[in-house]
Amino acid sequence: MIPIPKKGTPERERLIQEHLECTKSMEGVAGFSVLKCATPGDTTDISGGVHEDYLLRRVLLRMRGASVKGKLVVICTEVEKAWRIGRLSGIRGVPPTFVNDKVYTSEQEIQHDIFLMRLDEMPETDGMPEHYHEGYKRRDDNWPVT
């Protein structure tokens, strides 16, 4: 397994820069993908990002596969105008809570900030074989026992 790059290392800075470049190039594109557009906002010619950066792809897969409890998410507070970062409780029926008071006016900007926050929260050993567990319906996951 590949460890998460340590804070302050050139590899981590390169990873953050690649994500930022991809995010900026997708400005104006509906949805969010970590890809580079040859012309910003035009997805007819894409490169970079998760297609070419193995480490970035692995880190994003680990982030997306993380436990639901405590996961950071985008919450739209005003349709196509305002977004905020929330944190999931991990319990069905319990709404997410906002992590701060910052309001974003760009979907891409909030995605990059969430990436940075998740990267800071991830331990360097995340995803190593010794942390493997059986399935998502374990008894400690708040599922009713049948």
Q: Where are the beta strands (DSSP E) in the chain?
A: 36-39, 42-47, 72-78, 82-87, 97-98
Q: How far apart are CA 73 and CA 88, in angstroms?
A: 7
- Regarding pTM above 0.75, the answer is yes
Q: Which tokens in the block code for residue 121?
A: 């929260």
Question: What Cα–Cα distance (Å) separates residue 57 from each residue in 19, 62, 80, 87, 88?
Answer: 10, 9, 27, 23, 23
The tens digit of pLDDT for each residue in 74-117 reads 999 999 899 999 999 888 889 999 999 999 998 889 999 999 99
Q: What is the pLDDT of residue 1?
A: 66
